[in-house]
Amino acid sequence: MTANFSSPSQIRAQFSRAMSDMYRAEVPQYGTLMALVADVNADVLARVGAAAAGAAGQESRIEVERHGAIRVGTPEELATIRRLFAVMGMFPVGYYDLSVAGVPVHSTAFRPLDVAGLAENPFRVFTSLLRLDLIEDAALRDAAAAVLATRSIFTPGCLELIARAEAQGGLDDADAARFVSEALETFRWHGKSTVDAGLYWKLRKTHPLIADIVCFPGPHINHLTPRTLDIDLVQAQMPARGIQPKAVVEGPPTRRCPILLRQTSFLALSEPVTFRDGGEAGTHTARFGEIEQRGVALTPKGRQLYDQLLAEVRKTISPAGDGSNADAYRTVLSEVFAAFPDTHEGLRQQGLAYYRIVVGNKAADGSDVEALLASGALVAQPITYEDFLPVSAAGIFQSNLGDERRDDLEASPNRAAFEAALGAAVSDELALYATEQEASLKAALRTLGIGEAA
Ligand code: OOG
Ligand code: NI
């Protein structure tokens, strides 16, 4: 008997559309950003054509959001979030320690594990868990924990449908539609804080992110991110549309062969909040819009080179929040990254990046893979990086939390504690790309009748 269930990718597509609609209503600037991205993408396609715009240019639905981000407060919340995303075919990939950059959270990305799932709908959610253990003031830590212990971030209907999906192995169309609307409630913005003004300000002084996570009824979506074909152009054109970009684009510089991920955002807005005790109303700054441009996934060797070059850049210059050294930063970034090969052949042959190997239209001669690639019997296509970068993520966090003073933090990755909270291990993102490259090569050789690869 085959049950008549909605596919997880269909549910994810519905959920991502519902989030986009809700967020545009909540944060009108996000709608402005979407319109700018659509215009820039159309310009690029008109100018260079879809083929030259790379794999991204050939996607039929380039305008759909690629990711969003939330921050949860407790292990129990994280564990239930994992079950919620699993209903939509999204699983935890990667561990990101943000304490290294002074942000008291650690994170994973919930996403489809395979290329097929990402192609059906690419939506991912970068999900961070608050680390109360990094708050030094014990009384404040206890107060925050007490507040978090009393809240319930899921509707009863959502919890019931998660359990039903787990028990049945899926949801039918009617249940899936209900699930999407119940799940949406978890991510909605509430301008009414659950705490008194005094506690809000104490937490905010310790770290604005702690106030953002602890003082509200749930993990409001804090940004959504469409994909652009030219991030430099969107960054440059934001001011003309009345939105203020962060000082610099995070990640690698502009290149002929894009690698990893480049991101930028417009600065978060100040939203009015009221407090439980009716204390003087204030404003809270947390929600923004982001754009991303993705390139080829790097191997461990490529990633090491990236991390090393980025560290070299940051030793010389770190981008100021007010943009005063943005030009100088861009110059140093591109000078230092001149050391990173910038042809796909070079990247592949030096083992720096991952490629999907497919059969080309030239006759095969012999069984040497390099020779087959050189003759065009095999073709190497860059595998897109689908994950995140901790230094970039920290830059995105920081630029949207305002320039308020905050306590310094000790770097202290704790993947084991994160996985214990999650109730599952996170997948290793690099292993997913390596497996895809290997499987594609095997399949291509099989098609050519060459049999097992050496
Ligand atoms: C998440 C920031 C990280 C990204 O694109 O690197 C992120 C947050 O601000 O909660 O979304
Ligand atoms: Ni983001």
pTM: 0.95
- pLDDT, residue 55, reads 59
Q: Is residue 442 part of a domain?
A: yes
- pLDDT, residue 49, reads 77
Q: What is the mean pLDDT of residues 65-91?
A: 97
Report whether pLDDT(240) > 80: yes
Q: Is residue 454 part of a domain?
A: no
User: Phi/psi at 360 (nearest 5 deg)?
Assistant: -95, -170
Q: Is residue 85 part of a domain?
A: yes
Q: Which numbered atom of ligand 1 lies nearest the CA of 126? A: 11
DSSP notation for 228-242: -S-HHHHHHHTGGGT
- pLDDT, residue 129, reads 98
Collect residues with CB below 5 Å from ion ligand 2. Answer: 69, 225, 290
Q: Percentage of residues in the chain with pLDDT exceeding 90?
A: 80
Q: Is residue 131 part of a domain?
A: yes
Cα separation, 179 vs 162, in Å, equals 8
Tokens 């996170």, located at residue: 426
**Average pLDDT along the chain:** 92
User: Phi/psi at 410 (nearest 5 deg)?
Assistant: -85, 135
Tokens 């049950």, located at residue: 3
Q: What is the mean pLDDT of residues 65-89?
A: 97
- pLDDT, residue 267, reads 86
User: Phi/psi at 161 (nearest 5 deg)?
Assistant: -75, -30
Q: How far is the CA of 393 from the centre of ligand 1 (A)?
A: 5
CATH number at residue 32: 3.10.180.80
Cα separation, 324 vs 328, in Å, equals 9
Which residue range is the domain that position 109 belongs to? 8-447
- pLDDT, residue 429, reads 96
Report whether pLDDT(406) > 70: no
Q: Is residue 62 part of a domain?
A: yes
Report whether pLDDT(338) > 60: yes
- pLDDT, residue 407, reads 61
Torsion of the alpha carbons at 337, 384, 92 and 187, rounded to the nearest 10: 90
* Residue 107 Cβ < 6 Å to ligand 1: no
Q: pLDDT by residue (tens digit) across 150-200? A: 999 999 999 999 999 999 999 999 999 999 999 999 999 999 999 999 999
Show the tokens assigned to 107: 């994170």
Task: List, in sequence order, the alpha helices (H) in 53-172.
Answer: 54-57, 75-87, 115-120, 138-150, 156-168
Report whether pLDDT(264) > 70: yes
Q: Is residue 1 part of a domain?
A: no
DSSP reduced 3-state for 379: strand
Where b means 16+ CB within 10 Å and e means fewer, 260-286 reads bbbbbbbbbbebebebeeebeebebbb
* Residue 71 Cβ < 6 Å to ligand 1: yes
Q: Is residue 452 part of a domain?
A: no
Q: What is the mean pLDDT of residues 89-105?
A: 92
Q: Is residue 436 part of a domain?
A: yes
Q: How many domains does the chain have?
A: 1
| CA-derived radius of gyration, the chain | 23
Q: Which pLDDT band, with edges at 50, 70 and 90, does 403 fall under?
A: low
